[in-house]
Structure 1
Amino acid sequence: MTDPRPLHVLIAGGGLAGLATAQGLLKSGHTVEVFERDADLNRKQGYYLHFNAIGGEALRRCLPDDLFALYQETSRRSYDRPESIVLDDQLNELSSRPHMGPPNDGPVPHTGVHRRTLRQVLSARLGDAMRVGAPVVSYVEDADGVTATLADGSTARGDVLVGADGIRSAVRRQLLPDVPVIPTGIRGIGVFGRTPITPELDELMPHILDQGVLMAVDRKGSRLLIANFRPRRPADEAAAEVAPDVVLDPVPAYIMVSCSLTEGTVVPPVGEWTAQTPLDLRESMLAAVEGWHPAARAIVAGLDPESMFAIPFGFLEPAETWEPSRVTIVGDAAHGMLPTLGMGANLALNDAALLVDQLDRVARGEVDVPAAVGAYEQQMRETSYPILRMTLDHDKNFGGGALAEASGDRQAG
């Protein structure tokens, strides 16, 4: 047993998992400090996020009621068919399978949200508790707490340190130095962008394109990922009514797109992109879908060059167990995985809810910090590790075969 009291928790990283953890802890009466490496929230990290009830219920647990309602109002309505669908190049259905995890049913059924909108909701009201441009680079733990050192040399002191700083986490690197990050590619997926849904494009698109996150393929190996986002309500309008103190950027309806490039097309590192780079990549994509359904070609042709960016995919080979302490990890820092099952964000939010529940036990005097952290970590491993492994097997359906490829590379090395 411990003395009942709120905790002061340091959170390295202001992504989805870190911000959800912060909101959940504040909701329970704890105090937090969030240290985010980016100077603002404008870095391109992705667009449409597909959620099942794992992520949806975690948000309900962590957010105040009005912010959860705001999330729901800015989400996309549920699809008629809760399935992952594969199409041919003429957008005829080839196969389908149920989405992983239970759907978000209830009075406001929903399937997903715009990532930036969700991040703005999750960062609402944090105020001075969130420090931007201030990544955690190391920490020192003792019997009474944790001292985190930031990139500028300053320090912060707390009862617990949560590493929510992504797949290349500085916190995990110190906590679990032997856990490798395995970089890999997923053929046909990697360069992302958004295509606005204009009336003309809407007229061209068959109804099936409104049925989820879809993959279209041809016999030559080209692939086109399509995710249609039509928000329930405009984000800024919903915020003005549901939570007037929260500012959300307006987000018109769009299609998230990732498409194959023609053989030999080089995607430069992000620091080497020029204004011409996205235009060249879009032309390569158009060549890759030559002869496809007119709607597919229109979707690619309509890509907004300013929205385009590349994601260097990778995954973790996580440790099976470790000694619990006052330092722990959530989200990609704990189980970075490939996006082939659409589960990364759901599990990251679930981590936040699980951790908040366990730290609340400390505040009630039921357990000490290491015991609570250890219980969270065991739950996290049991929930997330099997799905991480499934993403590697499922990647074969997308042409990557990451697990076999990575294994072969390590054996060759």
Structure 2
Amino acid sequence: MPTRLESNRPLRVAIIGAGPGGLVLAQLLRDDPGFEVTVYERGEAEGDETSSLTGYRILITPELLDSLRKHLPADVQMLLEKAIGVSQKNGNRLGMMDTMCRLICRVDLAGMRSLCSVSRWKLRKALLSGSREFVKFGRVFTSYEVDGSKGVKVSFSDGESIHCDLLVGADGAGSRVRKQLLPDSSRSSTGVTTIYFKAPYTPETEAMIPWASGIMAMAPRRSMVVAYYKNPAKPYGPYDLNNIDPEDSFLMVGMGCYTNEFFNQDKHPDELTPEELKDECLNRARGWHPLLQALIAITVPNSVFVSHIKTQDPIEPWKTGQVTILGDAAHSMTPFLGQGATNAIVDAMTLAEKLKWTEEKEKETITAGVREYESSMLKRGNAAVKNSLYALDLTFAWGNTPWRAWFRNLALSFWDILTPHPANLVEPFPVSYSESNKKGN
């Protein structure tokens, strides 16, 4: 693989996929004269992914946000600030509860409480700033061929092809780039499907958030997660049960269970209408705490997203060449730790750093920088996959029967007792609408 110095031209970088990782990498390289970067996205337009998890939120560490602020172009930084949500007074905490809202354990250490809630939709909007210069929509990648001195030949479904010096697969969990690069790689189904909805965020529904920040309610073989995103520019939205605007603050409600244990057995989950999916969630919550049932009842059907949870089987290092992968293409994981998008962003920043370092130092070929990136990415990514699967197993495999769920909850309760927690955190529950209570949170 040539360096810019050797070829007297910018290094041509082609990125497949305009998700968070691919767009961050493109933004970090776009203004560097040593690189010529283009993103190829299969979607037809910038707003195509409104029905996906693009519309929800991710949690990002303050350190990662500071790094993005430091390295992204100014126009992207400005929009990024608008994507960062307002946290509750005591930060982002998670209460693990049973279905009657009895607190089992608290996840509220400083690292958790300092996490920043970022709107996926607003983040994507920020990362698409200036995209007409480097993003080509409607381009469906089909295959690549390492083409000697010409670099990598990249082919698309319309019959067109381009050449690049480095091909980066950022095309998600079903990555076609990974399938060609690593044909023996595989992903495993966890057997769990989660249904996500949004609900209106108003002063009244804000007071309904269990434990003020969010919870994971666990039942044998089922789960429910409640979280939120609060837009600093528009903290409260309308109480509209038919639609939630992408700019609006929202509650997020997710209901997980084994795919073959849906109440509605008349259709495959993918064939259920949004209203049928909402009924499915209501049926699962029969006999649960009224607050949890109420949160499901106020969800907006057209905001639904169904996720059949799979996880990447461990990938062993491969011989570095002119093709690499990042994000879910390399290490797709369960959503139970909320680290997928964050890891994709870290991958992109690491790869950009390694590419720029080798180009600036002029001591190594770009291949050496990619090799260093792949080594750190695989180590970090495989560990994140393992940890996220552990979190899913904690909810499902360890709670497959009422007795196992009881022992799991008992163990978590002891863990909570032995774990130091921040002092003087107000923890009203199950719900209060008083002004004094709101001020305490």
TM-score with structure 1 setting the length:
0.82
Pairing partner for 1:174 from 171, 175, 180 = 180
**Partner of residue 124, structure 2:** 119
Secondary structure, in 3 states, of the residue corresponding to 1:76? coil
**Partner of residue 372, structure 2:** 375
- Does 1:19 find its partner at 2:23? yes
Distance 2:324 2:313 in 1: 17
Distance 1:100 1:330 in 2: 29
Contact residue 77 and residue 232 of structure 1 kept, 8 A: yes
Distance 2:31 2:110 in 1: 29
**Partner of residue 68, structure 2:** 59
Closer/same/farther in 2, CA of residues 355 and 217 from structure 1, 3 Å limit: same
**Partner of residue 71, structure 1:** 80
**Partner of residue 91, structure 1:** 101
**Partner of residue 357, structure 2:** 361
Segment drifting more, 307-316 vs 393-402 = 393-402
- Does 1:165 find its partner at 2:171? yes
Contact residue 216 and residue 224 of structure 1 kept, 8 A: yes
Contact residue 185 and residue 400 of structure 1 kept, 8 A: no
Structure 2 residue runs of 5 or longer lacking an equivalent are 236-244, 400-441
Pairing partner for 1:45 from 28, 46, 52 = 52
Secondary structure, in 3 states, of the residue corresponding to 1:185? strand
Matched letter for residue 107 of structure 2: R
- In the TM superposition, what whole-angstrom CA distance separates every residue of 1:149-176 from its partner, at most 9, and x where no partner exists? 0111101111211000011111111111
Shift of 1:127: 0.3
Shift of 1:15: 0.7
Pairing partner for 1:208 from 207, 211, 225 = 211
Distance 2:204 2:110 in 1: 33
Contact residue 22 and residue 170 of structure 2 kept, 8 A: yes
**Partner of residue 310, structure 2:** 314
Shift of 1:182: 1.2
Segment drifting more, 294-303 vs 157-166 = 294-303
**Partner of residue 149, structure 1:** 155
Closer/same/farther in 2, CA of residues 169 and 54 from structure 1, 3 Å limit: farther
Structure 1 residue runs of 5 or longer lacking an equivalent are 105-109, 236-248, 403-413
Distance 2:4 2:202 in 1: 59
**Partner of residue 28, structure 1:** 32
- Does 1:264 find its partner at 2:263? yes
Contact residue 54 and residue 101 of structure 1 kept, 8 A: no
Contact residue 181 and residue 317 of structure 1 kept, 8 A: yes
Shift of 1:397: 1.5
Closer/same/farther in 2, CA of residues 254 and 375 from structure 1, 3 Å limit: same
Distance 1:22 1:362 in 2: 17
Closer/same/farther in 2, CA of residues 117 and 125 from structure 1, 3 Å limit: same
**Partner of residue 391, structure 1:** 388
Pairing partner for 2:140 from 119, 126, 135 = 135
Distance 1:326 1:314 in 2: 28
**Partner of residue 418, structure 2:** none
Matched letter for residue 384 of structure 2: I
Distance 1:382 1:81 in 2: 29
**Partner of residue 218, structure 2:** 217
Secondary structure, in 3 states, of the residue corresponding to 1:121? helix
Contact residue 21 and residue 352 of structure 1 kept, 8 A: yes
Pairing partner for 1:10 from 8, 11, 14 = 14
Distance 2:138 2:302 in 1: 24
Shift of 1:291: 3.5
Contact residue 74 and residue 234 of structure 1 kept, 8 A: no
Q: Percent identity?
A: 30
Shift of 1:333: 0.4
Closer/same/farther in 2, CA of residues 102 and 357 from structure 1, 3 Å limit: farther
- Does 1:335 find its partner at 2:339? no
Segment drifting more, 50-59 vs 353-362 = 50-59
Shift of 1:63: 2.0
Closer/same/farther in 2, CA of residues 91 and 401 from structure 1, 3 Å limit: closer
**Partner of residue 319, structure 2:** 323
Matched letter for residue 132 of structure 1: F
Segment drifting more, 343-352 vs 126-135 = 126-135
Shift of 1:328: 0.5
Shift of 1:217: 2.6
Contact residue 25 and residue 62 of structure 1 kept, 8 A: no
Distance 1:323 1:128 in 2: 32
Segment drifting more, 86-95 vs 159-168 = 86-95
Secondary structure, in 3 states, of the residue corresponding to 1:307? strand
TM-score with structure 2 setting the length:
0.77
Shift of 1:207: 6.2
Q: Which has the larger radius of gyration?
A: 2
RMSD of aligned residue pairs (Cα, Å): 2.7
Contact residue 193 and residue 308 of structure 1 kept, 8 A: yes
Secondary structure, in 3 states, of the residue corresponding to 2:225? strand
